[in-house]
Amino acid sequence: MGYTLNFAAVWRDIDLLFMGLGLSLVLAAASIAIGCLIGLATAFVLISKQRAGRSLAAGYVTAIRNTPILVLILFTYFALPQLGLRLGKIESFVFTLSIYAGAYLAEVFRGALLSVPKGLREAGLAIGLSEWQIKSSIIIPVMLRNVLPSLSSTFISLFKDTSLAAAIAVPELTFYARKINNESFRVIETWLIASLFYVVTCTILAMLLRVVEKRMAIPR
């Protein structure tokens, strides 16, 4: 075992890793934002009285949750163009991760929506609010505040899942780590540093989310 650690090669290209990290964060933020919208819409359909819509939404959730995300990424990037939908790498990945996040979040939101007391809707109706105003001003804000603590780990998982974008050569953190590895052959150093990037970022994200959680919590 004559391996001497030498970080010089990784250090030289550290700016690439930061660039990659930047894109990873953008990918995660975009996918979480779009995923929340998809999840919210799906959750409302899941609890609606519309039977056809409900089956469709349940089908979507089941299909996505039971497919490995790597397969989804490859499917979107390689198979969809054959069907006439051509997307760039980044768009393709954000599309996939959003759909994936949406399916997970739909389940979480569905349960959370059911736990919002019915009386709040009735109080909204009684002062003359429309169903849409009740959803946007009362039901969704209350639900989100209740559910946020249980979402932190989901959001962090989604950030980590962005590393799979390397599979379709999206230039994010893992992609650049592999590039540095291939060019320098400093295998241990490269992947050690890349891991460190993920660990530190996730820790900071968790801390930030806890702050948001506290700020958003309903005071009692």
Partner 1 sequence: MPHLLEIRDLHKSFGQTEVLKGVDCAMEQGDVVCVIGSSGSGKTTMLRCINMLEDFEGGTIAIDGQQIGYETQRSQRKRRREREIARQRALTGMVFQQFNLFPHMTALANITLGLIKVKKMRREEANATAERWLDRVGLLERKGRFPGQLSGGQQQRVAIARAIAMNPKLMLFDEVTSALDPELVNEVLQVIKDLARDGMTMLLVTHEMRFAYEVSKRVIFMNEGRIGEEGDPKQMFLKPKTERLAEFLKSSSFH
Residues that bind partner 1 (CB under 8 A): 117, 119-120, 122-131, 133, 137-138, 141-142, 145, 218-220
* Cα separation, 181 vs 170, whole angstroms: 16
> Closest CB to partner 1 among 48 and 133?
133
| For partner 1, the closer CB: 69 or 144 | 144
Q: How far is the CB of 139 from partner 1 (least distance, A)?
A: 10
Q: How far is the CB of 210 from partner 1 (least distance, A)?
A: 19
Nearer to partner 1, 68 or 119 (CB): 119
Closest approach of Cβ 34 to partner 1, in Å? 24
To 10 degrees, what angle do helices 14-46 and 140-161 make?
140
| Min dist. Cβ of residue 147 to partner 1 (A) | 13
Q: Which residue from 52, 162, 170 is spatially nearest to 100, judged by alpha carbons? A: 162
Nearer residue to partner 1 within complex by CB, 137 or 195? 137
CA torsion through residues 90, 93, 96, 98, sign: negative
Q: Which two tokens stand for residue 86?
A: 């051509």
DSSP assignment string, 70-132: HHHHHIIIIIGGGGT----HHHHHHHHHHHHHHHHHHHHHHHHHHTS-HHHHHHHHHTT--HH
Question: In the complex with partner 1, which residue's Cβ is closer, 135 or 179?
Answer: 135
Taking the complex as a whole, the smallest distance from the CB of residue 113 to partner 1 amounts, in Å, to 15
